[in-house]
Amino acid sequence: MVTQTILPLRLRDARVRKNGRVIVGPVDYELPADGFTIVIGPNGAGKTTLLRMMHGMERLASGAVEWQVAEKRARERQAFVFQIPVMMRRNVLENVAYPMQLHGSSRKQARAEAARWLELIGLAEAAERPAPVLSGGERQKLALARALIRKPEILFLDEPCASLDGRAMREIEAVLQSAHSEGTRIVMSTHDMGQARRLASDVLFVHRGRIHEDGPAARFFEHPQTPEARAFLQGDIVE
């Protein structure tokens, strides 16, 4: 039996309002089924809220977020990694196994798959350590394993490497590239233009709560279409 894809994702006149002010939107956009989308833009532009809106964590003031299947089924086939991941008060292995147990796998099956993932991401030796004592890079790798263990069709990430050193960043990028090569659709925000150039197949440039410009990465970085995008890429202040 072939499972129907949840993608593409369509945003139709979608808005998020807080304290009486629209902070993201209106957004009309279709996220294709394939690609590694990087979301960039000035601080406060609305990148995090846009990702949360796509994922379904933000209540819409108006408009719609439409998947190709019912919302409940779509939610089960996606994952989100936060800039500062939440660690449960369990050991590393149990943190990674938890999503599988939550969705019906036996404890034995979940722990076996979690152990495999810890080998893949280089945390096997930390399996029995309490998760809250991990370093920043180790926490992000754990969060990635926990998100990817159920093989989501799409993974959203909010600046997962913002506070990591170069080595940890390379390790996280390697995990993401591997997941993408195995079929996971990735949408990720970053403030690091080097990382954006390394990973992106396409780019969303967010400015003042709207998708100001989007397109293939090569075109965007070489020939941005708007003055705001050009200024941003040159390192100028964009208001």
> Residue 91 carries which DSSP code?
B
Angle among Cα 90, 189, 7 to the nearest 5 degrees reads 90
Confidence (pTM): 0.96
Pick the CATH number of 9-86+152-233 from 3.60.110.10, 3.40.50.300, 3.10.20.70, 3.40.50.800: 3.40.50.300
* Structure confidence at residue 178 (pLDDT): 95
Compute the distance between CA of residue 38 and CA of residue 31 in angstroms, rounded to an integer: 12
- pLDDT means per 10 residues, the chain with 239 residues, are 85 97 98 97 97 97 97 95 92 97 94 96 96 94 96 97 91 95 97 97 98 98 97 94
Compute the distance between CA of residue 68 and CA of residue 4 in angstroms, rounded to an integer: 8
* Structure confidence at residue 2 (pLDDT): 52
Structural domain boundaries in the chain: 9-86+152-233, 88-133
Task: Reduce the DSSP state of residue 51 to 3 states and report it.
Answer: helix
